[in-house]
A and B are shown apart, each in its own frame.
Chain A
Amino acid sequence: MTRTLKRVGAPLLLLAPSLILVGVFVYGLIAANFRTSLTDIHTAGQATGQAPSETVWFENYTALLTSEAFQHSLKNLVLYTVVFLVGTMLMGFLWAWLLERPLKGEGIFRSIYLFPMAISFVASGVVWRWLLNSNQGESATGLNRLFQMVGLDFLQNNWWNNVSYGIIAIAVPAIWQLSGYVMALFLAGFRGIPEELREAARVDGSTTWQLYRHVLFPQLSPVALSALVIIGHMSLKSFDLIMSISKPANYQTKVPAVDMYVFKSSFDYANAAAVGMILLVIVALVVVPYLVRTHRKES
């Protein structure tokens, strides 16, 4: 007994501060948030505890999920995530593929492709709001003006001001910012492939396509999965970029994370908490299987 205590005691003692902090701030707060999401705290008076509130169970959830406005947010979230994922994966893979074999100036290309990652979404949002200006024709600036200048006038569009697809415009800067990251992942993946495998394929007389299909792609699939999970969960949590490009109250580009902010600002804590929980469930659906899988592999 004392031996077990000695064996387990010291590590636990060292871990204790972090375990308590994470326990309280992550798991404790999620529980408290869930509790709030089951109440009818929709006003400032109730939020500060001056007016009474009661438990309404899942009413907030059903109201949210059946409301046209929140469904619009969910639709936006799906659209944004699909475009963001496809864009970063394609660009990232393409860049990695172009840089995979040694090449003069390789380091410069890599560094520049990756640099947007060091910048905050708020800062890049300043430029991208200018680039994605919806004015066209005479008054066009930004990308619309650039399209005119290079004779691609038909590409002009109203970007994030489009009600149905405006959110896709916001995915453009997101792709700009994170493709370099996916490239770095794929490059690491390429570098991790033993040269013997390529050699063997070559000796077998494989065509280039066969080499990719049967040797390189299978080796890269774990990296691709990591990239999908990372970009996917970032995309589901997107907030900064949308806030800095369009206004929070902007219907065209709203997503659940923005809804949560708007509810919180108007002291509708119950709905803010419910949106938070819905978002958590969505993210968990992506991340938990991944973590469990990794966990299993390790043990």
Chain B
Amino acid sequence: MTATTTPAVPPRDLAGVPNEPATTPPRKNPFGLARTLRYAALLFFLAVVLVPVYVLLVTSFKGAGDASPARAWALPTTWTLDNWTAAWDALAPSIWRTLQMVVPSAILAAVLGSINGFVLSRWSFRGANLVFTLILFGMFIPYQAVIIPLNQLVLDLGLPSGIPTLILLHVVFGIPITTLIFRNYYQTVPHELVEAARVDGAGMLRTYASVILPISLPGFVVVLIWQFTSAWNDFLFAVFFSSYNNGPVTLALNNLANGALLQNYGVSMAGALFASLPTLVVYIVLGKYFIGGLMSGSVKS
């Protein structure tokens, strides 16, 4: 999603706070009624949350014959894949471009974040906290406050509009959150490990490469997922720094949904599904780490 996030959760819970079993054994609930009510409420909200999903799926399979408002919530009279093929044709090039944008920017931002996180969690020099806070502020700013000069800067740098520019932006503006996540993660690494390496005379770079990097995998997974998702879902940078022909899928989807004079909801809904599929798959397969990213956006450590 498009969020930058920051709750206060201990870093040991980095990957998957809510997935941990509760610390207490389940108590037998003496009130069957309370339990039933609880389930009823939970199921009601489940239905509410899933309403848009129903609409999305059903509408995407509808043909022209189902255009009447009276059939808005009904199942398709004839199921068709026309919308899906039309949406795929419209979005496929941009989906490919988005992949080319998201992968390098996630990796680069993760590497920078890991280095920063290591330094800021281990080497306390005067002002280290201030430096960290100043970096962190970068993830809260409304990007509207930098876009006008950023436009000029990008032109001056001679970067081609579209994906190359967006990679740079996602890396730079990803640094605060990746630094934060890694810093919190590395603070859970036992001090003795790092100290032992130092006593052995290892410099900072060697300590990083030989001690820290090998245990960083979970941190990298969390950060990569986070960066992947937020870059994939980004619209703000896309709309200012790319165009329909060279931009990512959010822009193409918005174009598809807003472009036609007569809105064809069936095609745009199929398109919305295509555009969401990668992040949804990540959420379903790696949900634990996804939630870890949400949680560890924690300013507090």
Chain A residues near B (Cβ < 8 Å): 7-8, 10-12, 14-15, 17-19, 21-22, 24-27, 29-30, 32-33, 36, 91, 95, 98-99, 101-103, 107, 109-131, 135, 138-142, 145-146, 149, 176-178, 180-181, 184-185, 187-188, 191-192, 195, 222-223, 225-227, 229-230, 233-234, 236-237, 239-240, 243-244, 247, 256-257, 260-261, 264, 269, 272-273, 275-277, 279-280, 283-284, 287-288, 290-292, 294-295, 297-299
Contact = CB atoms under 8 A, between A and B. Distances in A.
B17 A121 contact: no
B262 interface: no
Given A127-B55, A243-B235, A283-B141, A29 B112 contact: no
Contact of B279 (A120, A145, A192): A120
A140 to B, nearest CB: 6
B295 to A, nearest CB: 6
Interface in B38-67: 38-39, 41-42, 45-46, 49-52, 55-56, 59
B164 to A, nearest CB: 16
A181 B5 contact: yes
Contact of B229 (A18, A118, A149, A276): A118
Nearest to B300: A294
Contacts of A21: 171-172, 175
Contact of A36 (B52, B149, B257): B149
B8 interface: yes
B159 to A, nearest CB: 13
A125 B255 CA distance: 12
Contact of B116 (A15, A115, A123, A284): A15
Given A117-B3, A188-B9, A191-B17, A30 B295 contact: no
Interface stretch (B99-107, B125-133, B189-197, B216-224): B125-133
A233 to B, nearest CB: 6
B160 interface: no
B200 interface: no
B176 interface: yes
Contacts of B276: 118-120, 123
Given A36-B148, A126-B268, A234-B3, A101 B280 contact: no
A240 B148 contact: no
Contacts of B45: 91, 95, 98, 113
A287 to B, nearest CB: 4
Nearest to B24: A195
B269 A118 contact: no
B258 interface: yes
Given A117-B1, A126-B268, A298-B129, A188 B146 contact: no
Contact of A120 (B1, B73, B295): B1
**Band of interface residues on B:** 35 or more
13 contacts: A118-B283, A120-B235, A122-B250, A127-B272, A138-B69, A139-B69, A184-B291, A223-B9, A239-B144, A287-B140, A291-B136, A291-B140, A298-B300
The 5 closest A-B pairs by CB, nearest first: A120-B233, A32-B149, A118-B283, A280-B145, A276-B145
Contacts of A101: 22, 26-27
B144 A191 contact: no
A249 to B, nearest CB: 12
Given A118-B276, A125-B254, A287-B140, 8 more contacts: A21-B172, A33-B147, A118-B280, A126-B265, A138-B69, A237-B143, A273-B148, A297-B300
A181 B148 contact: no
A260 B235 contact: no
A177 B2 CA distance: 11
Contact of A122 (B22, B39, B254): B254
Nearest to A183: B18
B23 interface: yes
A188 B129 CA distance: 26
Given A25-B150, A118-B1, A191-B17, A130 B135 contact: no
Contacts of B258: 244, 247
Given A18-B112, A120-B279, A283-B141, A11 B146 contact: no
A230 B125 CA distance: 29
Given A8-B125, A120-B275, A131 B10 contact: no
